[in-house]
Structure 1
Amino acid sequence: MTTEQNVALVKAFYQHIEDNNYEAVAALCHDDFVFYSQVDKPLDLHGFLAQEKGNMDGYPGFTFRVHEAIAHDDKVACYMIFEGVNTAPIHDLAPTNKPVRFSLMMLMTIKDGKIIEKRAHFDHADISRQLQG
């Protein structure tokens, strides 16, 4: 795939997350998909989908946009902004009804036309402060 195709794949991946279409998200992922949140223990595709849906379900109507994407070979780096209001439970936590806006950096690796690895970096303490403040 070209770098332009890799960027389009990653943008489609995030559009499907924003559309709450996790079946389509899974279809864009390689069978050997691995997710690293920060530098935590990796999750497989099933674990990633469960965690991602559990997080996003707390923010009905959220936006999760790719603002910049840089591609080289099989890698796509993205600068993203998440915006939403926590009006539904997140996993086992009650909603706060507070708005949240934060940036993230993602590094995706593409193999055989699918996303095989996703690495996420964000400021978890910032999100917690916004939910508490």
Structure 2
Amino acid sequence: MSHRTRTPEQLVSAYVDVWNERAYQHIPEVVSESFVLYDPAVPEEGIAGPRGEAHGPDAVARFIRGVIAGFPDFHVRVLDTLARDDVVMYEAEVTMTHEGEFDGMSPTGRDARFRLMSTYLVGDDELEEHRVYFDRLDVFAQLGLTDGE
């Protein structure tokens, strides 16, 4: 029987650090082989899983690298966290500038700042699932990718 060396909150914090510090090498230390990221921003092409899903550590790494290529200053600031047993939830603020291509969208040079909610399921000392919820239309509007902007 395995035991945890890190709390669920520590695992989530380490995962956020992967994003903010571009510490891709730590992905296998934080997520399980069966990890699934559910995020509406995951593109259909080039990532294991259907649109909106990244399956496994390699797919997550590919997705994060793609986000950073499109938004080099991408940053997640966790505002509030709630943890209970094997579930961790947080509210965060994301800031980013669209300076590179992402999912076929040419860079707009515009900034976006938005709130999101995340839910994580935690297994034996690794994350099993991450679900992301945010207003995608608001982000597109801020980046000038809608008819109204």
TM-score band by shorter chain is: 0.7 to 0.9
SS in 2 for 1:57: helix
The answer to whether the Cα contact below 8 Å between 1:16 and 1:25 also exists between their aligned partners in 2 is: yes
* Pair 97,41 (structure 1): closer, same or farther in 2 beyond 3 Å: closer
Which has the larger share of strand? 1
- 2: distance between equivalents of 1:125 and 1:27? 33
**Corresponding residue to 2:23 among 21, 24, 34:** 21
Q: Which residue of 2 aligns with 1:119?
A: 131
- 2: distance between equivalents of 1:89 and 1:21? 21
SS in 2 for 1:43: strand
SS in 2 for 1:33: strand
Q: Which residue of 1 aligns with 2:55?
A: 44
- 2: distance between equivalents of 1:127 and 1:48? 21
The residue type paired with residue 37 of structure 2 is F
Tell me, yes or no, if structure 1 residue 56 matches structure 2 residue 68: yes
Deviation, structure 1 residue 17: 0.8
The answer to whether the Cα contact below 8 Å between 1:17 and 1:25 also exists between their aligned partners in 2 is: no
Tell me, yes or no, if structure 1 residue 83 matches structure 2 residue 99: no
TM-score by length of 1: 0.87
Deviation, structure 1 residue 127: 0.7
* Pair 99,42 (structure 1): closer, same or farther in 2 beyond 3 Å: closer
Deviation, structure 1 residue 43: 2.8
- 1: distance between equivalents of 2:83 and 2:140? 31
* Gapped regions of structure 2 (runs ≥ 5): 41-50
TM-score by length of 2: 0.79
- 2: distance between equivalents of 1:121 and 1:100? 16
The residue type paired with residue 97 of structure 1 is G
Identity within the alignment, %: 24
Give the count of matched residue pairs: 131
Q: Which runs of 4+ in 1 moved over 6 A?
A: none
* Pair 65,25 (structure 1): closer, same or farther in 2 beyond 3 Å: farther
Larger Cα Rg: Structure 1 or Structure 2? 2
* Pair 123,21 (structure 1): closer, same or farther in 2 beyond 3 Å: same
Deviation, structure 1 residue 41: 5.7
